[in-house]
C-alpha cells in the first residue's frame, strides 16, 4: 500500500470520526432542548391520590379529573384563512424553502394535503411578504408569489404523534419541489423531529383532562327535557345539532357543555318527550382559557340546575359532591394548569387548541 493510500485512509478515518462526533453532539444538544421544554419536574396531580383512569370513547365522564382517550377527537388536515400566523416550530415540523424565482407553492401544497390526508395532522403553507414583513397563507388559489416559503406538518394532536416515516415523506415531497424550483431547503432531521413529537405527545397526554359534574334525579325520578332546555337557555347555553348544550364565551369559544347523563342525546325536535335520570356538565381543561373561573361558573350553573330540578350534585358513586371534594378538584386543576404553563402550552392558547383537537 502506497503512502498516498495510507494518507487517504487516515484522512478518511478522521472525517468519519468527525462526522460521528458532530452528530453525537447535535443529538445531545437536541435531547437537552427537548427535556428542557417538556420534561418539567412537576408531580402529576392525577396520580397523587388515585390511579389514573382512562375512559372508553363512550364512557360517561364523572365528577373527577382523568385523561381523555386520545381517539376522542381527531383533527382533520385543513388550511384555514389565518393558518400562516399559526405555524409554530414548537408543535410543527417546518421545512423552510428559499427559491430564486417567486412561486406560491400551489403544486406542492396540493401534494402535501393528499399525502397527509390519512395522518389526521394539519398541513400549513406560508410565504414571506417582504413588503409587510409578515408570513402569509399561500398555496392553492392564493394568487401571491413568494421567494421564501414555510411548509409545516403538525407533529401531534389527540390522534397521537406523527410517525417518523410520515415526517420523512413530508420532507421529501418539499425537497423535491424545492429542487425543481432551484431552491434551497432547511429543516430538522426527521429522526430528531420524531423524538420531539413523541415527547410532545407524552406531555399532552398527561394534561389532557376533563372535569365532569353530574346532577342526578332523586329516588328514581327523572328530569323533563323541556325543563332542562328552559334552564339551559336561561343560563345562556345553546343546544347544538349534536344533542349537546354549549356555554360559549363572548368570542364564541366553548367554555363547557351540558349533556344527557344517559346515552341519549338531547335532540332538539325530541326535547318535549325526553326524560332523563341525570345530566352532566363537562369542562375540557386544555381547551379553555381562564379554566379556574370557568370551573367556578360551571359549578355555579350546576348548582342552579340542582336547586331548580330538586336534584343531587353527586360524584361517580352517586355520593353527594362535598365542599371538600370540590376543593380537591380545584387543587388538581391548579396543578394541571401550572404544568401546562411550565410546558409553554397554556390552556386555551392557540397552541393548545391545535394540540388538543
What is the reported pTM? 0.73
pLDDT at position 118? 86
For residue 253, being part of any structural domain is answered with yes
pLDDT at position 130? 87
The mean pLDDT of the chain is 81
In sequence order, which residues have a C-beta less than 8 Å from that of residue 111 and are 6 or more positions away?
Answer: 173, 177
Among residues 43, 64, 162, 170, which one has the least CA distance to residue 115?
170
CATH number at residue 115: 3.30.70
pLDDT at position 319? 80
pLDDT tens digits, 100-113: 888 878 778 888 99
Tell me which residues of the chain have a pLDDT lower than 70. 1-85, 139-142
For residue 66, being part of any structural domain is answered with no
Q: How many domains does the chain fold into?
A: 3
Domain final residue pick, 205, 223, 253? 205
Residues 200 and 219 in one domain: no
For residue 294, being part of any structural domain is answered with yes
Domain final residue pick, 170, 190, 205? 205
Residues 216 and 343 in one domain: yes
Residues 239 and 343 in one domain: yes
pLDDT at position 82? 45
Residues 162 and 81 in one domain: yes
For residue 47, being part of any structural domain is answered with no
pLDDT at position 101? 86
pLDDT tens digits, 215-267: 999 988 999 999 999 999 999 999 999 999 999 999 999 999 999 999 999 99
Question: Which residues span the domain enclosing 26?
Answer: 1-39
Amino acid at each position: 500500500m502506497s503512502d498516498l493510500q495510507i494518507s487517504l485512509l487516515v484522512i478518511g478515518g478522521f472525517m468519519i470520526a468527525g462526522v460521528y462526533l458532530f452528530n453525537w453532539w447535535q443529538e445531545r444538544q437536541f435531547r437537552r432542548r427537548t427535556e428542557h421544554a417538556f420534561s418539567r419536574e412537576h408531580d402529576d396531580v392525577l396520580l397523587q391520590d388515585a390511579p389514573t383512569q382512562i375512559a372508553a370513547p363512550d364512557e360517561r365522564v364523572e365528577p373527577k379529573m382523568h385523561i381523555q382517550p386520545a381517539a376522542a377527537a381527531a383533527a382533520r388536515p385543513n388550511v384555514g384563512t389565518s393558518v400562516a400566523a399559526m405555524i409554530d416550530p414548537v408543535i410543527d415540523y417546518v421545512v423552510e424553502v428559499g427559491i430564486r424565482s417567486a412561486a406560491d407553492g400551489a403544486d406542492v401544497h396540493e401534494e402535501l394535503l393528499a399525502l397527509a390526508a390519512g395522518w389526521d395532522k394539519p398541513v400549513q403553507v406560508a410565504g414571506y411578504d417582504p413588503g409587510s414583513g409578515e408570513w402569509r397563507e399561500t398555496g392553492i388559489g392564493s394568487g401571491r408569489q413568494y421567494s421564501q416559503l414555510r411548509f409545516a406538518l403538525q407533529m401531534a394532536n389527540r390522534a397521537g404523534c406523527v410517525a417518523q416515516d410520515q415526517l420523512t415523506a413530508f420532507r421529501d415531497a418539499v425537497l423535491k419541489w424545492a429542487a425543481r424550483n432551484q431552491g434551497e431547503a432547511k429543516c430538522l432531521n426527521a429522526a430528531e423531529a420524531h423524538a420531539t413529537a413523541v415527547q410532545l405527545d407524552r406531555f399532552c397526554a398527561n394534561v389532557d383532562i376533563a372535569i365532569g359534574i353530574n346532577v342526578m334525579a332523586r329516588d328514581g325520578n327523572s328530569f323533563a327535557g323541556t325543563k332542562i332546555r328552559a334552564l339551559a337557555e336561561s343560563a345562556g347555553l345553546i343546544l347544538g345539532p349534536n344533542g349537546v348544550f354549549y356555554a360559549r364565551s363572548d368570542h364564541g369559544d366553548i367554555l363547557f357543555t351540558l349533556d344527557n347523563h344517559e346515552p341519549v342525546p338531547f335532540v332538539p325536535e325530541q326535547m318535549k318527550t325526553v326524560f332523563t335520570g341525570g345530566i352532566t356538565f363537562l369542562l375540557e381543561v386544555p381547551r379553555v382559557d381562564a379554566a379556574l373561573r370557568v370551573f367556578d361558573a360551571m359549578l355555579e350553573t350546576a348548582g342552579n340546575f340542582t336547586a331548580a330540578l330538586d336534584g343531587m350534585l353527586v360524584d361517580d358513586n352517586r355520593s353527594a359532591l362535598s365542599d371538600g371534594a370540590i376543593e380537591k378538584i380545584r387543587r388538581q386543576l391548579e396543578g394541571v394548569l401550572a404544568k401546562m404553563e411550565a410546558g409553554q402550552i397554556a390552556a386555551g392558547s392557540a397552541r393548545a387548541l391545535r394540540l388538543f383537537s
